Amino acid sequence: LVTTRCAHPKARDPYDLAVLLQDAEVVLSAGGPVEETLPEVWWEADEVVVAGSLYLAGAVRDLVASGALDEEPAPADDEEGLEPDDEP
């Protein structure tokens, strides 16, 4: 599970979302802006489900439509996810 945010001024910080979800029994990672995070997740995951606001869904739709997800991104420096009991 990767938390992210869109550019909307009321978007919640991905780190704050990760704190709320830290008891979930999944590998959890707090990402950055959706424009940076989604391409990485897109290429790593078998499936990607986007859940959140219409602003986030619109940002994802724009990324897909623009072809921003067509090429594999360079590896990120911080590839570590959070385990269920880790502090985000």
* pLDDT at residue 83 in the model: 52
pLDDT in tens, 3-53: 998 888 888 999 999 999 988 888 888 888 999 989 988 998 888 888 888
Instruction: With 0.85 as the threshold, say if the pTM is over it.
Output: no
* pLDDT at residue 45 in the model: 87
As a whole number, mean pLDDT of residues 56-72 equals 91
pLDDT of 80 > 60? The answer is: no
The structural domains of the chain, with segments of one domain joined by +, span 2-66
* pLDDT at residue 81 in the model: 52
Residue 82 is classified by DSSP as B
Distances (CA, A) of 41 to 9, 10, 29: 23, 23, 11
